[in-house]
Structure 1
Amino acid sequence: MTDRRLMLVHAHPDDETIGSGATMARYAAQGAHVTLVTCTLGEEGEVIPPELAHLTADRDDTLGEHRVSELAAACAALGVTDHRFLGGRGRWRDSGMMGVVSNHAANAFWQADLDEAAGELVRIIREVRPQVLVTYDENGFYGHPDHIQAHRVTWRAFELAADPAYGEDGPWRVSKFYHTAMPRSVMIRGEEAMRENGTPFLVESVADLPFGCADDDVTTEIDARAHIERKVAAMRAHATQISVSPPWFALSNDVGQELLGIEHFVLRSGARGPARPGAPIEVGGLGEPYGREDDLFAGID
């Protein structure tokens, strides 16, 4: 396939880099058209550098606009030239973590009308015509309301875009729909490496984390280690949200996480392509052949 088009839908600036940055850099470097759609400006985020603490929602409330520039720099680092804000810049606001007051703001993404938001994404899908669409699973990867809503909106748009009765600009059927994923074996390996290094881990055990999936659920493993420096540069661009010290990074809680150049996905819809024998790296130290796809476009003519 020479005309490959990949679209990713993420909730806030920085999510694209943390969860799929290496993959985006790999496909951009290979000449694929990579489109990133971001649902909010990330206005409710915390801020790491003390000198920028005034940007937060409870002070100047200018963090969102600052993160727009961070996102632009991150996209440049990843080689991504097609970026859109869902519904236009600032159409929906960051809802904050689950259960906080900002969830209930009238313009919070968590409160967005599903069909209205999906309609905005349908327009982009029908314009770009991606063969592959990527977002989070039903739990939004870790339960953030905007991530959950991003899944709902993207899945609804995936359905509507293929419906010839919807809209006037002609249907487009996306061939493959993926969720981002984190296999528990990779989490365990990262936990062990951090403990050996004396780096604090998020919790007592990976079993206590609000994300992660069974290894058998993972269908696709993208080896983008050759592009890890681009992911590192993109993380550094998100300076209000991420501190980076390879092979680790940390968010505002200052707890280390492993910086991964191999990223994982679960095929939600579409025909699974042929798998290469074995995984690109040892998974959980086992080195067993898992038969996963090693290309998001696998099986697409």
Structure 2
Amino acid sequence: MATLVSFHAHPDDECILCGGVMRKAADEGHRVVVVVATRGEVGEVPDGFLDVGELLSDRRVREMRASAEIVGAQRLEFLGYVDSGMMGEPTNDAPNTFWTASVEEAAARLAAILVEESADVLTVYDDNGGYGHPDHIQVHRVGMRAAELAGTPRVYQATMNRDLMNRRREMAVEAGFQVPDVDTSGFGKPEAELTTAVDVTAYLDVKKAAMRAHASQISEQSFFLGQSDEAFAYSFGTEWFIRVGAEPGVAEKDLLTGL
């Protein structure tokens, strides 16, 4: 059996991008480890949601622990950095933010976990962090360097299928739905650049349960949970990756094949 380490920026990212592959790996007997760079201190939360005196970071850590259990992780670690907020916000430059962290220093922290776990597979994000969030971009930079330091043999960049997103938008327009005019060029990667598509339809209930564990960030009315079951399956039934060093073209169906 193998060890999969999945590296993420904030609590809730893990279940959206990799919840299915993690639960699938765990159910198949592999070891699953989740590493989160920050505690999501800058996330938005409805007024009155938190208890009196409760810090959002404390709530998000508890939510992350619950989600990690749902997706089958046997170990959860935080690297100890502070949420940087969206690109261009003043929070980017606050003390100890992940965005301003030394890549070498942060990579050494992650590499220590990879070495300790004898990790066979590491997931990070694509070079734009999926959609340009500074902490997500930093996950790519730090994760790629950590894999080099630790000698982790197999690295996958979690991303979104941009072409699929555009096809879904066209289908909605053709069906007569009002669809916002959104530029998708900064989201995910074109299908031609992807290498791996993992069918996680058997784990959609797991993904939903993990999302619900992050109640401070993902409400029942959100894009994620407010969709019909059919739309949710279309959006989240496949998890997409770019395997580092592999030829482009979706050929792989699993992250742990042969391990």
| TM-score of the aligned structures, taking structure 2 as reference length | 0.88
| Cα distance change on mapping 1:193 and 1:101 into 2, 3 Å | same
Partner of 1:145: 134
How far apart, CA to CA, are the structure 2 residues paired with 1:8 and 1:198? 39
Number of aligned residues: 253
| Cα distance change on mapping 1:226 and 1:92 into 2, 3 Å | same
SS in 2 for 1:177: strand
Residue 51 (1) aligns with residue 29 (2): no
Tell me which of 188, 201, 209 is aligned to 2:166: 188
Tell me which of 84, 87, 105 is aligned to 1:98: 87
Residues 96-137 of structure 1 deviation map (CA, whole Å, 9 limit, x = unaligned) = 111111111121111112211111111100011111111111
Residue 204 (1) aligns with residue 202 (2): no
| Cα distance change on mapping 1:156 and 1:293 into 2, 3 Å | same
| Cα distance change on mapping 1:102 and 1:54 into 2, 3 Å | farther
Bigger radius of gyration? 1
Q: What is the deviation of 1:138? A: 1.5
How far apart, CA to CA, are the structure 2 residues paired with 1:129 and 1:244? 38
Partner of 2:191: 215
How far apart, CA to CA, are the structure 2 residues paired with 1:183 and 1:63? 31
How far apart, CA to CA, are the structure 1 residues paired with 2:125 and 2:81? 18
SS in 2 for 1:134: strand
How far apart, CA to CA, are the structure 2 residues paired with 1:115 and 1:247? 36
Note if contact 2:24-2:203 (Cα within 8 Å) is conserved in structure 1: yes
Give 1:3-42 correspondences, 5 Å limit.
Answer: 3-42=1-40
Residues 144-178 of structure 1 deviation map (CA, whole Å, 9 limit, x = unaligned) = 111111111111111111xxxxxxxxxxx222111
Partner of 1:296: 255
Structure 1 stretches of 4+ moved >4 Å: 192-201, 245-248, 256-259
Note if contact 1:41-1:64 (Cα within 8 Å) is conserved in structure 2: yes
User: Which ranges of structure 2 fall in alignment gaps of 5 or more residues?
Assistant: none
Task: Look up the equivalent residue of 2:204 and give its one-letter code.
Answer: I
Tell me which of 112, 115, 121 is aligned to 1:123: 112
Task: Look up the equivalent residue of 1:44 and give its one-letter code.
Answer: V
Tell me which of 177, 184, 193 is aligned to 2:155: 177
Residues 51-79 of structure 1 deviation map (CA, whole Å, 9 limit, x = unaligned) = 31688xxxx68111110011111112212
Residues 39-62 of structure 1 deviation map (CA, whole Å, 9 limit, x = unaligned) = 000000111x4431688xxxx681
Q: Percent identity?
A: 40
| TM-score of the aligned structures, taking structure 1 as reference length | 0.76
Q: What is the deviation of 1:264? A: 0.6
